Structure 1
């Protein structure tokens, strides 16, 4: 009996312990979704089961609110990192994406993605510790832009890697892999391939346009980079575009989002709309696909858009479900994709389980990251022309004139969708540092375009606040200038980038406002442009009259007005600025519109041994859906591709002095610099080169770096060479189909040394559907070490009018010391050497194929100056 009683006690104790452990487990994980040991799918399903319909819909907007009863924190899905973490405080800023494309360096793209995601992770965890969960503070990034830059007039083409689908795919895949990391369980960040698909301008009509292409163009040009991003890089997010394609809105396209993306390619991530794209479904004079927001939200979710950048889903999607327009299971499907992403980022797990959570904040803007940005800037520079060995310049010159609207422009370094750099090294600054013993003269020389002056900070002697120079600044810890200011002070100039600290100590959120008051006094009589370059929003008053107001600016932009001022006459001004996100900036700027910029530049050029002209474009006039309408520019796009007339006039006047001249271009798209090609001995293309751009330019100009960048786009001679901008037919577009003579071809770029190609080896015959191995030896036969971009093109022996002239199927950037030889190997897959038929089908049939290997395209009708030094070898194989 005692033994039985003892046994019963043991069993009872065991049961009690088990019950107690169960209670402990229940206390530790109130819900199954909180248990990190469970499979992600089980956790997601459990979480969704706990939610009401309204709560589900609330999580499908980009600024998803907290669900306190479930312990779900707020999350903002909107982040940007096109060429560095953007709009989230100081970050390393790399060259704009088009410059990255010009590097033709796949491994470099992976390194860049790794550095950017390091900074993104470090920033996110810092924000969470500070209980900040707002816009630009998360881990889901709407990058990269892998649209095809089919037309140089598109203002957003600067965000892409160029005009070629293969180049775009290789660069995009490596960038995405660097961003998302290689951990088997947790993503480092989530990248977004955008804008899906068939999207590349015009900007001003993107909310209403309906594009059509052949199946051949769709499969040969517009889809390959997206397919590679999904199948090779496992990108977890895709952003659908604003426009329609074949009558369906891209964010409501059964063809794109279901048939191709999910069924054909097996995409298992989530789809996010471009911002406020769903409004285009029903708003007047747009797509006209829905009668109201409720129908629009139902159509988008039904077709496969999971996340709305905008405010259409909430509450309209709830109404759509209740009215029976869309089934709640479609809401659950979308939400499961979104919550799976959050779980796979480790957002609901302890930091010690997520390997990316221990990246220290000190990596942000670290010396290692700065060096990579500088390296990228160097690699992106393309030497377009170098007659008479004008370059490199002699460092022993006694005087040099650095002239042009881009010579000292900090904004031109950055392009659009940029972060906030600690360094902003302009060409002028870098040349001064490079030549400490020379006289370095500087002049703007011209405005960036007629009617678009360069705006500079208004100096303190033109501002007055009582007896003080400057303006009275009242600082508030809210967005609305309410209550008593936290403090009041005199600000001698309004030129603030409040990072890393905010202006108010102890500010918990990023929300604050400033009111500046005082007087503006012109030093000269004339017409002035006065502006405020600022983040977030604000208002500008003159003599109590509102001149402009703005809000919801996601990156700093300049708002302005033109006015006549009289010398010495005071105007009362009031500026009300507010900030709501993490990149607070405000600069009060102006320009004297009547100033004679040209004469000063000519006088300085006359007394200089050498002239460096820094010309080109600016992200202030080319970019995304802008209010800018000037001669040659149209709402962010360009209507002409030549240099603006003001800059062309400057160039011709300086060239007439018969001085040694180097033209440095800074721009985001191709320029028809025909006159310069005929008259200027050396031309360098540097894009929007990032925070170390000026240093990279100076290194190239003075021979401390041997340039090897290649053009990722064709430089045409005129808009007359181009088809209609709105036509997405690829006929006569890009190097693959262009029948004319380019000014500078895709893939072009010179070097300070020479390279010889030899021993091109490949099979004479190959069986259908087998890989083709190709090797070639490259030797540096010049007198300097340098990089070479080995390019492999394919052309088929066919007579189809719509067949590509030739297509890039391989490239490698290699470094060679003087006299060194390297063997470069390629493996060309059947998909690469297949033809795309007019029906969009893959066709591999017997016949001959030519391969061309060298430092440029084959069979060019014209050779840019110096291109005769670049060799191309050709060999034929037969498919049997």
Structure 2
């Protein structure tokens, strides 16, 4: 009912706005400058109206014709959480593995077009004030993936500040467009600035790092996006920095962001972060004090709650000047002006983009291309890959082989079609080829819940097969539901996804009803899983009660059955936000016999194990507690032991075993790296992940992805998760041996580097031209990522052991050579001193170019060339 009233309010507002004489309001005059218009607009607002505009769900101001607007929207790897089908590109960490700024620029531009189409459609349908339908996107996530246990690392561009900055800049420029007057969409750099887990304590965590680490690792990407990419927005983080919550931190928000970098855009809090000042950080006595401090330090939008409503009284009692409110509100309306929201659609180049751009052929083609580009060939011995398409029998095993959820990552949209690894592999083989598929294991255990017999026809409602499903637009199962018949309840929806007519995947409830006719006397188990809460009834008796936020914990109920008896089943479910899942599975738990499975596949020509982990296990503040996982983070970077044990059984067949790993973070695979001949890292590859995987496995695409993170050998290599010091972290400061280094990735061809050209010496602050000749020395056409690293030698100050300072992805035919050029400018070669001030060390500088890092094991097929020059 609340949603119906809200929508009715939108139409009422539209009617009122239609009566406003805009010719008498200068802020509607598109001949004036944006600044003049914003100043005029804000001058006409009451204090209450101004404060209300500082919430993410800003209400309409009918008397001025100003429409309502919700600032909250997501476009991490394609437009997310809308009721419409959109193109889903590979997860951000996978896009980082492309090492291709042009590819990210294209992807972001395509996503902005889809976002504009959705916004234009929403305006036409009177829904433009709804969440996830606006044009202010809270992306990209440019936090540094300093520790592989962080569940949200999949949303980032990896562990390196330079790679993150360059990819983030390309994304922002693609999303915001090149029009000199209007933004295509508004990007937002998050989470400012020192934020990377642990998830369970993110609301209360206080981090302190040295000035060196602050400026060397945690700030460079933000600085690049603010000063070079002109990003429209910044999101401040939940955690505190040096005892002050980030959203109220004068050093971060005023001194650095506003004064040093000259940022003039808007800042939004992370959602619920202002409440955290009081409830978790305990740094402020009440909500009013929290709101005052946040606004005084430049946080313009409060996301998630309404703490900012206390600002009205705070101004009236003199605790904060109204000019501080005006400053924030002007920033917000400036963004809306730049998006063209106050101009005639005929004058805004993006206001006519049609719905037909959603999932357009070019967008789907680029999603597939990026998935191919992202795949990293970690290992390939004895020519195991590529496989022959003439294979007559192949085994496809594992928990990610046919997993629709895993390929989509998190913060994702929903495409019309998803291709899993199994689907992609089948499409490569002849129709008469035999494909043996078994899930075999879950991610962390060897016991699957298997259906007992043909249960589909055993569940009916009023003579119809299946369940009666009733969906309610509230959490309380109240009102008139939308009703339909369904099969066994098994749903995994994204927030904002359309569930049924007029009900989206946000704050809804459902009831599923059926009669079960027992086919034997004995037992039938029901496995239930749901988020946020559910109840299960048999014959109107409550047998499982997880209504109070069960949070993903699966429950099992055993029903004693009598043959031909009828049991009345009812499953009730509610969801309060974010992703929604509800599943009821009747059957029995069965432990997989690995030896028997190996026997069934021993005559396959190849065995593909598609495993790894999943966004079902790692992500944002997740209610997950499985072995190796906690709260969205990982407690161990080891591949779950059950998968290793299964691969040992498969390897014992003597048949070639290929391990295809899906993950959003680095996984330690010591046994696999020693014993499995070919390992492919496929990340969470988006809607066309399966096609891309098959293209690589069968040689239709020559892989060239590179790791944007270090793959360590074991948990023992990692410092404490809570320690934000960069000592012994990432390729720049970790001194031990690793499984697969940052920048690693193999090819089906080979490349040779030569003729590295640099000056012999240069003066301080002088740019350094670098060129290198790259030759494809193999028999296949392929792409190569040329990586440029620098390292200072014999320095008395703290410096990284090496640092990436340039990269280019190029394509070469067999025998072809190309000269690749770089310019190392003075700023790129500077390092922070102990006080955080940037200095450029003098002395010997080693410059290395190749297909990977210099001087580390497990290099790519490419050699590395290097020269030492002198900085005077």
TM-score, normalisation: structure 1? 0.91
Match of 1:439 in 2: 434
State which drifts further: 598-607 or 33-42: 598-607
In the alignment, the residues of structure 2 paired with residue 311 and residue 478 of structure 1 have an alpha-carbon distance, to the nearest angstrom, of 19
User: Are residues 414 and 77 of structure 1, via their aligned partners in 2, closer, same or farther at CA, if it must alter by over 3 Å?
Assistant: same
The yes-or-no answer on 1:597 pairing with 2:595 is: no
In the alignment, the residues of structure 1 paired with residue 527 and residue 334 of structure 2 have an alpha-carbon distance, to the nearest angstrom, of 50
Match of 1:4 in 2: none
Match of 1:200 in 2: 196
The yes-or-no answer on 1:879 pairing with 2:858 is: no
- 8 Å CA contact retained: 1:542, 1:574: yes
- 8 Å CA contact retained: 1:98, 1:161: yes
Deviation at 1:507, TM superposition (A): 8.4
The yes-or-no answer on 1:316 pairing with 2:310 is: yes
Deviation at 1:460, TM superposition (A): 3.0
The yes-or-no answer on 1:99 pairing with 2:94 is: yes
Deviation at 1:454, TM superposition (A): 7.9
SS where residue 713 of structure 2 aligns?
coil
- 8 Å CA contact retained: 1:851, 1:875: yes
User: Are residues 54 and 822 of structure 1, via their aligned partners in 2, closer, same or farther at CA, if it must alter by over 3 Å?
Assistant: same
- 8 Å CA contact retained: 1:271, 1:307: yes
SS where residue 280 of structure 1 aligns?
helix
- 8 Å CA contact retained: 2:448, 2:592: no
The yes-or-no answer on 1:630 pairing with 2:626 is: yes
- 8 Å CA contact retained: 2:238, 2:247: yes
SS where residue 357 of structure 1 aligns?
coil
- 8 Å CA contact retained: 2:387, 2:698: yes
User: Are residues 454 and 268 of structure 1, via their aligned partners in 2, closer, same or farther at CA, if it must alter by over 3 Å?
Assistant: farther
Which structure would you say has the larger Rg?
A: 1
Deviation at 1:482, TM superposition (A): 4.3
In the alignment, the residues of structure 2 paired with residue 72 and residue 820 of structure 1 have an alpha-carbon distance, to the nearest angstrom, of 59
User: Are residues 381 and 225 of structure 1, via their aligned partners in 2, closer, same or farther at CA, if it must alter by over 3 Å?
Assistant: same
| Cα displacement string for residues 218-272 of structure 1 (whole angstroms, at most 9, x for unaligned residues) | 0010000000111111001000001011111001000000000010001110110
- 8 Å CA contact retained: 2:450, 2:590: no
Match of 1:8 in 2: none
User: Are residues 347 and 521 of structure 1, via their aligned partners in 2, closer, same or farther at CA, if it must alter by over 3 Å?
Assistant: farther
Match of 2:392 in 1: 398
In the alignment, the residues of structure 2 paired with residue 323 and residue 378 of structure 1 have an alpha-carbon distance, to the nearest angstrom, of 60
State which drifts further: 39-48 or 72-81: 39-48
The yes-or-no answer on 1:675 pairing with 2:667 is: no
State which drifts further: 646-655 or 221-230: 646-655
- 8 Å CA contact retained: 1:477, 1:504: no
- 8 Å CA contact retained: 1:297, 1:317: yes
Match of 2:4 in 1: none
The yes-or-no answer on 1:279 pairing with 2:275 is: yes
Deviation at 1:485, TM superposition (A): 4.9
In the alignment, the residues of structure 2 paired with residue 879 and residue 595 of structure 1 have an alpha-carbon distance, to the nearest angstrom, of 67
User: Are residues 159 and 505 of structure 1, via their aligned partners in 2, closer, same or farther at CA, if it must alter by over 3 Å?
Assistant: closer
Deviation at 1:630, TM superposition (A): 2.0
In the alignment, the residues of structure 1 paired with residue 493 and residue 648 of structure 2 have an alpha-carbon distance, to the nearest angstrom, of 41
User: Are residues 276 and 294 of structure 1, via their aligned partners in 2, closer, same or farther at CA, if it must alter by over 3 Å?
Assistant: same
Deviation at 1:163, TM superposition (A): 0.2
| Cα displacement string for residues 608-661 of structure 1 (whole angstroms, at most 9, x for unaligned residues) | 121000110011111111111122111111111111122121111111222101
Deviation at 1:28, TM superposition (A): 4.5
Deviation at 1:359, TM superposition (A): 1.4
- 8 Å CA contact retained: 1:78, 1:138: yes
SS where residue 388 of structure 1 aligns?
coil
Deviation at 1:484, TM superposition (A): 4.8
Structure 2 residue runs of 5 or longer lacking an equivalent are 1-18
| Cα displacement string for residues 187-243 of structure 1 (whole angstroms, at most 9, x for unaligned residues) | 011011000011001001111111111111000100000001111110010000010
The yes-or-no answer on 1:168 pairing with 2:160 is: no
Match of 2:213 in 1: 217
- 8 Å CA contact retained: 1:57, 1:313: no
RMSD over equivalenced CA pairs, Å? 2.8
Deviation at 1:765, TM superposition (A): 1.4
- 8 Å CA contact retained: 2:488, 2:585: no
In the alignment, the residues of structure 1 paired with residue 500 and residue 634 of structure 2 have an alpha-carbon distance, to the nearest angstrom, of 42
In the alignment, the residues of structure 1 paired with residue 831 and residue 480 of structure 2 have an alpha-carbon distance, to the nearest angstrom, of 71
Match of 1:365 in 2: 359
Match of 2:259 in 1: 263
Structure 1 residue runs of 5 or longer lacking an equivalent are 1-24
- 8 Å CA contact retained: 1:791, 1:808: yes
SS where residue 472 of structure 1 aligns?
strand
| Number of matched pairs | 841
In the alignment, the residues of structure 2 paired with residue 129 and residue 372 of structure 1 have an alpha-carbon distance, to the nearest angstrom, of 29
- 8 Å CA contact retained: 1:446, 1:598: no
In the alignment, the residues of structure 2 paired with residue 743 and residue 529 of structure 1 have an alpha-carbon distance, to the nearest angstrom, of 38
In the alignment, the residues of structure 2 paired with residue 110 and residue 54 of structure 1 have an alpha-carbon distance, to the nearest angstrom, of 40
Match of 1:531 in 2: 529
User: Are residues 445 and 493 of structure 1, via their aligned partners in 2, closer, same or farther at CA, if it must alter by over 3 Å?
Assistant: closer
State which drifts further: 519-528 or 390-399: 519-528
The yes-or-no answer on 1:698 pairing with 2:690 is: no
User: Are residues 159 and 357 of structure 1, via their aligned partners in 2, closer, same or farther at CA, if it must alter by over 3 Å?
Assistant: same
The yes-or-no answer on 1:841 pairing with 2:837 is: yes
State which drifts further: 173-182 or 46-55: 46-55
TM-score, normalisation: structure 2? 0.92
SS where residue 629 of structure 1 aligns?
coil
The yes-or-no answer on 1:739 pairing with 2:731 is: no
In the alignment, the residues of structure 1 paired with residue 524 and residue 794 of structure 2 have an alpha-carbon distance, to the nearest angstrom, of 65
